[in-house]
Amino acid sequence: MDAPRNPILRVRNLEVNFETNDGTVRAVKGIDLDVFPGETVAIVGESGSGKSQATMGIMGLLAANGRATGSALYRDQELVGLSERKLNKVRGEKITMIFQEPMTSLDPLYRIGRQIAEPLVHHRGMSARAARARVIELLQLVGIPNPKKRIDSYPHEMSGGQRQRVMIAMALANDPDILIADEPTTALDVTIQAQILELLADLQKRLGMAIVFITHDLGIVRRIADRVYVMRLGKVVESGKTSEIFAQPNDPYTRMLLAAEPTGTKAPPPETAPALIEGRDICVVFRVGGGWLGGDPTEIRAVDGISVSLRQGQTIGIVGESGSGKSTLGRALLRLLPSEGEVRFEGRDISRLDRGELRPLRKRLQLVFQDPFGSLSPRMTVGQIVTEGLLVHEPELSGKDRDRRAVAALEEVGLDPAMRNRYPHEFSGGQRQRIAIARAIILKPKVLVLDEPTSALDRSVQKQIVDLLRDLQRQHGLSYFFISHDLAVVRAMSDYIIVMKDGKIVEEGPTETIFDRPEQPYTKTLMAAALEGTALHIG
Amino acid sequence: MADTTTAIEPAAALAPVAGRSLWQDAWRRLRRNRAAIASAVVLLLMAFAGIAGPWFTPHPYDRIYPQYVRAPASLDAYPQEDTIIPQFVSALERARITIGEVEVDSSTVRAPVSDDKPLDPRIVRYVDRSDLFNNARLEDADGNPLAEGATSGVMVADVQRVRFYFGTDANGRDLLARILIGIRISLAIGVLASVMALVVGVAYGSIAGYVGGRLDNVMMRVVDILYSLPFIFFVILLVVFFGRNFVLIFIAIGCTEWLDMARIVRGQTLSLRRQEFVQAAEALGVGNRGILTRHIIPNTLGPVVVFVTLLVPKAILLESLLSFLGLGVQEPLTSLGLLISEGSDNMRSAPWLLIYPAVTLTAILFALNFLGDGLRDALDPKDR
């Protein structure tokens, strides 16, 4: 980094407060922040640390009940408390933002060319023709192939990674001094994520703007940031040069974050362990369109002839990027989706059973979902949610017995059973995932399909959930299908790994073999993209 | 929320902590919305007036006062002082007797009467027959009942003081009593029709949406067909088959309004069905019935409640339309729509006949719409 110059953005004692029904929530409690020209600053923290709200406060983009106080100087211009009209001159032109969700930050009704051109026409008063030429230039810059043609695409015609590139092009349109990137790669697959990070680094080198990178992923920070601010509960707990912080973290919280990578491996079950679930040539075909007046349906083979066998006490990690069919495979193995091929559970063919015949088996075949916010019914109490399975499978239990079982299950997953009359929205993400696990294990299942159970959680919570799942496996002799795109977690959880792409198995084998000696080129790319960042801090 | 607190120390006390459900949250938000709460109070008062009011008004809603046709609204009691004497005289004149000077004091009217023949005591009926007087009697000069065969005496009658705060209609019926009964009928139809639409629509829509596939297709095509039936035509058909009946009106309105409800609920169900908590319930082996009643329907209720509060005014307006066309409530029973329709006929000569029912209906509709808006804001999850 260059010798210290004057910061281009100088934030002092910034506070963000939200007025809610339950009183004032202090999201950001007085932080200081400097951004120098041309550098990359990372703000790192877990969900709820206030890292996004701090930048939203600077940019005047807070929700209606939010208020920012303090000072944020951009080239001697105070941004906090600036009128909307003057603020608009700065944001979108001098300071621009890209967001996490490329699916929703583009308007689906307009062609992307028009959306990128909008700030050009608006802020610079460019003519339509000049703006179009500039848009093509920008699309080229962010690496969209064939920009002359793609300029007239609609957002839904592009992939997630391309949409994020379009977002970046939009943010770059007016040659900003500062680009604020709020978790820009979180929603993307690892290989795409690596490409976007490369692009950002490359653009910074060429255009010389400063980047403020907000993320929860320390691997990314390590990879791209010059300096880093670690935030926790609305305060900056530590800041400094990335290399120094990673080498010698001073704050216990930073140390905890750095150590939060799930560690350990799982030993395979003994050779003699009986096979619990065997799937042979499983195919899941979705028919899209068609119907009455719709013409012929299109077939999508989400899972294409996969055979897999899970033994007692084994954990099979199913790895793949989005759209690879890994979740579909998990559901097909539990017979929650109509599928072709044969599924055997404890030696019995269950692939031809109907819903009623499957019901008694559901007790032993359970599923935990990715989204701890969507998988719990918002209008039921935790106690009701956890004991719902008992209503079906052990209807003879009295209300008191069910309550006792709920208490036991909640204790087992490390939750305070006194909370069982609360509703899901009163819990944090990690707690909700524990509730979802309690719901599954209360039935004493044999096989659990874990569909990205840790993906929506913060790293430190991920580690806790992974530990919990391993403990439960040891205690109850459970067998897991562990579906994830997060290779670090998969490595810690499973003893056998299946790598999927486009509904087919690319490679499979014991965990070490796959991680240490991958054979297929696809597996190698995946490993490189995923581990380049995350494996760094071990040193 | 920072998640470092998830590792909770082992629970010492097992006494459950009470939770705060989404409904309680919504209620707290609603309570802070003054317009909605004021509307709810207005509605409660209106409902109370409609239910209990008719028992407390001095006039039954179907009592006709021929002397007080289109009496203007007034806080003073009728009859007005200057009409007492002419009315008394005109009543007495029918008895074909000689009438002396009429005196009026606060509550009685008296006039010396005489005739060639002995006075027939039955002539008091001429006076009693008028709405203005009752307890007519013949007295002698000392105030004792007139002896039989006397040819002169004093005709005494109590002046019957009646109040018409909202005036009377073209048939001489008290408008206040009729408005109160109108509120009762209109609210009853609004609520009953909405409840019917709610029950049928929620059941139909959630089943169609949850089961999906061919059943959904068939069920929604049935809805489409019913949609294409013109409402008035449908009502006339019902009236032809079953005759005019109060129950028929809300059945007719409920039968048409549940279609919207079914579509709303079906749409909600379709999006809920993809939610993971429904899939989780399926993975637990919960049956269709359990999923519908425990997971789908409770989660659709937010938008449904909002829609119902907007449905009630719609049903009231539809009832008004039907009554206006003569297909609805029959005389002497009335509804706000009918009263307004009568009022509009007499707008020039008796504006109060239009103003009071119209203000009442508007107040109800305003209150319902404000309450609906307040509920929508309170139940909107985006606000959380």
The answer to whether the Cβ–Cβ distance between A379 and B299 falls below 8 Å is: yes
Q: Extract the tokens encoding B351.
A: 């504006």
Name the closest residue on chain A to residue B26, using Cα atoms.
A21
| Residue A295: predicted pLDDT | 64
Residue B204 has pLDDT above 90, yes or no: yes
Which residues contact residue A506 at a Cβ distance below 8 angstroms, ignoring those fewer than 6 apart?
A499, A500, A520, A522, A523
- Between A204 and A322, name the one with better pLDDT: A204
The half-sphere exposure of B134 on its side-chain side, counting CA atoms within 13 A, is 4
Averaged pLDDT for residues B161-190: 86
Which residues contact residue A178 at a Cβ distance below 8 angstroms, ignoring those fewer than 6 apart?
A8, A9, A35, A74, A94, A95, A96, A209, A210, A211, A212
Rounded to the nearest angstrom, the minimum Cα separation between B204 and chain A is 21
> ipTM score of the complex?
0.74
Residue B1 has pLDDT above 60, yes or no: no
The answer to whether the Cβ–Cβ distance between B17 and A425 falls below 8 Å is: no
Residues A158/A168, Cβ–Cβ less than 8 Å: no
Strands A315-319 and A479-484: parallel
Supply angle C-alpha B347, B352, B358, rounded to 5.
85
How far is Cα B38 from Cα B373, in angstroms, rounded to an integer?
A: 13
The answer to whether the Cβ–Cβ distance between B276 and A375 falls below 8 Å is: yes
Supply angle C-alpha B17, B23, B25, rounded to 5.
75
Where residue B269 falls among pLDDT bands split at 50, 70, 90?
very high
Q: Which residues pair with A301 in a beta bridge?
A: A285
Does an H or E element contain A524, and which?
helix A521-534
Q: Which of A44, A377, A425 to mutate to test the interface with B (most CBs of B within 10 A)?
A: A377
Distance of CA B92 to the CA centre of its chain: 42
Amino acid identity at A279 = G
Q: Which residues pair with A214 in a beta bridge?
A: A43, A182
Residue A358 has pLDDT above 60, yes or no: yes
Q: Which of A279-293, B72-86, B273-287 is modeled with the greatest confidence?
A: B273-287
pLDDT digits (tens, 9 = 90+) for A122-131: 777 888 888 8
Coil vs helix vs strand at A371: coil
The answer to whether the Cβ–Cβ distance between A393 and B275 falls below 8 Å is: no
| Residue B4: predicted pLDDT | 39
Question: Whose structure tokens read 């899972």?
Answer: A303
pLDDT digits (tens, 9 = 90+) for A389-412: 898 888 888 888 998 999 999 988
Name the closest residue on chain B to residue A429, using Cα atoms.
B3
How far is Cα A273 from Cα A346, in angstroms, rounded to an integer?
A: 12
Coil vs helix vs strand at B322: helix
- Between A424 and B38, name the one with better pLDDT: B38
Amino acid identity at B70 = R
Count CB atoms within 10 A of the CB of residue A395: 7
Where residue B275 falls among pLDDT bands split at 50, 70, 90?
confident
- Interface membership of A40 toward B (CB under 8 Å): no
Coil vs helix vs strand at A24: strand
Where residue B299 falls among pLDDT bands split at 50, 70, 90?
confident
| Residue B223: predicted pLDDT | 92
Residues A302/A284, Cβ–Cβ less than 8 Å: yes
Name the closest residue on chain A to residue B302, using Cα atoms.
A379
Residue A20 has pLDDT above 80, yes or no: no
Does an H or E element contain A97, and which?
strand A95-98
pLDDT digits (tens, 9 = 90+) for A22-48: 678 888 888 898 999 889 999 988 877
Nearest to A378 by CA among A435, A449, A450: A435
Coil vs helix vs strand at B90: helix
Q: DSSP secondary structure string, A429-474?
A: HHHHHHHHHHHHHTT--SEEEEESTTTTS-HHHHHHHHHHHHHHHH
How far is Cα B261 from Cα B206, in angstroms, rounded to an integer?
A: 10
The full length of chain A comes to: 539
Residue B262 has pLDDT above 90, yes or no: yes
Residues A433/A453, Cβ–Cβ less than 8 Å: yes
Coil vs helix vs strand at A109: coil
Where residue B384 falls among pLDDT bands split at 50, 70, 90?
very low
Where residue B230 falls among pLDDT bands split at 50, 70, 90?
confident
The answer to whether the Cβ–Cβ distance between B285 and A393 falls below 8 Å is: yes
* pTM of the predicted protein model: 0.75
pLDDT digits (tens, 9 = 90+) for A284-311: 888 776 555 656 777 788 888 889 999 8
The answer to whether the Cβ–Cβ distance between A461 and B282 falls below 8 Å is: no
Rounded to the nearest angstrom, the minimum Cα separation between B305 and chain A is 15
Nearest to A270 by CA among A486, A495, A440: A495
| Residue B19: predicted pLDDT | 66
- Between A30 and B382, name the one with better pLDDT: A30
Q: Extract the tokens encoding B17.
A: 């902590």
Where residue B9 falls among pLDDT bands split at 50, 70, 90?
very low
Residue B5 has pLDDT above 60, yes or no: no
Averaged pLDDT for residues B121-134: 79
Chain B neighbours among A 463-492 (CB < 8 Å)? 464
| Residue A211: predicted pLDDT | 92
End-to-end CA distance of chain B, in Å?
14
Phi, psi of B221 (to 5 degrees): -70, -35
How far is Cα A283 from Cα A339, in angstroms, rounded to an integer?
A: 6
Strands B108-114 and B152-159: antiparallel
